[in-house]
Amino acid sequence: MSLFEKIKGFFQKDSSDNPEKSGSDSSQPTIADPSRLSVKQRRGQKLDVATRFELDKHAFNGTMSQFRVAKDFKSGKTVGLKFIDREKAKQFEDRFVGLQKPAEGEIAMQLIDPCIVETYEVGTTTNNQPYILMEYINGPGLDSLINERSNRLDGKRIPLIRQMANAVAAVHKTGFIHRDICPRNFICDESLDWLKMIDFGLTVPDKPEFKRPGNRTGTPLYMAPEIVRRRTTNLQVDIFSFGVTCFRLLVFDHPWSSSDTTGKAALAHDTRPPTELLTVNPNLNEALSKAVMSCLAADPNSRPESMEHFLRMIRKVENEEQ
């Protein structure tokens, strides 16, 4: 597989993804705990991209950002460099005017976990464009593996599901709601032995002012009913999206089959029941199937109360099939 094909999976959206994105509007670089950083930048110093990096010729454009793989002359490492479209990001950030919402990069710097991509540095370039400098994972996106119905996932799913659950749990423990859990936001290593969560463009603090009705953002086919219906939200929206992601990882199909990939498709998430996993694959482990299906409950109170609860539900599961 060429470098182009590998990095394409890092940032490419599948055809069912149509999320809104946000980004940093900070003019000053923000540095987290120096002990976890291999790259540092002095506060107040803007990034000169041309002198610091050798950029790969391929650029991957998202809704509100552009991603480049780069060789960092300072550290000698291959890194990921995300450039935020300031104007487009502002459209999302304006929804939270007066609430002191941290920017995407500021949030990412706080998320320190083996199952979450490491963010080295955030700030502004000499062209006044916000950027996020991050760990680069040289492997396929979970979405591409699912869309290809890859048999490489056979025997790998249980560890990957546990790692995804740990990543979501880490976001919640740090005091945030991710709001866009989907296969596109997990990157695997080449061996598929581990994965990491990426992209915190829609992430918000787990505080009442950020959970009010009306903020209908996310990836439609993974969106919890309370988001679709513009109701008050909480951490349960991530558990629902996690459940949809696990469902697809296990059987490749969506729990609510539809040719529509817009927000209208998400209206089915509380108007008709999801397809049962055991109907699609009767050989699946029953405890695993039960745990995943519980995440898809239309009523947030009927879902696992936390990702730790979900992990307890599958603690004895060793294989995806009976």
Q: What is the pLDDT of residue 120?
A: 95
Which residues, in sequence order, are CB contacts of 136 under 8 Å at separation 6+?
Answer: 7, 10, 69, 77, 78, 79, 80
Q: What is the pLDDT of residue 44?
A: 57
Question: Are the CB atoms for 211 and 203 separated by under 8 Å?
Answer: no
Which residues, in sequence order, are CB contacts of 265 under 8 Å at separation 6+?
Answer: 220, 221, 256, 258
Helix/strand/coil for 187: strand
Q: What is the pLDDT of residue 86?
A: 84
Inform me whether the pLDDT recorded for 124 exceeds 60.
yes
Per-residue pLDDT, averaged over 6-12, amounts to 44
Of 10-14, 44-48, 99-103, 297-301, the least confident: 10-14
Q: What share of the chain is helix, strand, coil (3-state, %, to 5)?
A: 40, 15, 45
Which residue blocks in the chain are alpha helix, DSSP H? 3-11, 49-52, 86-93, 104-110, 142-147, 157-173, 225-228, 236-251, 277-280, 286-295, 307-313
Per-residue pLDDT, averaged over 172-186, amounts to 96
Segment 180-210, tens digit of pLDDT:
999 999 999 999 999 999 999 899 999 999 9
Q: What is the pLDDT of residue 21?
A: 38
Where are the domains positioned within the chain? 3-135, 142-313
Q: What is the pLDDT of residue 17?
A: 44
Confidence of residue 87 (pLDDT cuts 50, 70, 90): confident
Inform me whether the pLDDT recorded for 1 exceeds 60.
no
Helix/strand/coil for 132: strand
Inform me whether the pLDDT recorded for 3 exceeds 80.
no
Per-residue pLDDT, averaged over 21-34, amounts to 38
Per-residue pLDDT, averaged over 96-108, amounts to 88
**Class of domain 3-135 (CATH, top level):** alpha beta
Q: Which of 8-22, 226-240, 300-314 has the highest mean pLDDT?
A: 300-314
Inform me whether the pLDDT recorded for 19 exceeds 60.
no
Residue 246 corresponds to which tokens in the numbers above? 């696990």
Segment 307-318, tens digit of pLDDT:
999 999 999 999
Which residue blocks in 154-206 are alpha helix, DSSP H? 157-173
Superfamily of domain 142-313: Transferase(Phosphotransferase) domain 1 (1.10.510.10)
Q: What is the pLDDT of residue 200?
A: 93
CA angle 63, 70, 111 (to 5 degrees): 65
Inform me whether the pLDDT recorded for 211 exceeds 70.
yes
Inform me whether the pLDDT recorded for 176 exceeds 90.
yes
The CA-atom distances, in angstroms, between 11 and each of 130, 184, 283 are 18, 8, 33
Of 56-60, 118-122, 135-139, the least confident: 56-60
Inform me whether the pLDDT recorded for 50 exceeds 80.
yes
Q: What is the pLDDT of residue 88?
A: 80
Per-residue pLDDT, averaged over 250-278, amounts to 86
Q: What is the pLDDT of residue 89?
A: 79
Segment 127-153, tens digit of pLDDT:
999 999 999 999 999 999 999 999 999
Burial level of 128, CB count in 10 A (0-12/13-18/19+)?
Answer: exposed
Inform me whether the pLDDT recorded for 24 exceeds 80.
no
Report d(CA 161, CA 167) in Å as an integer: 10
Confidence of residue 18 (pLDDT cuts 50, 70, 90): very low
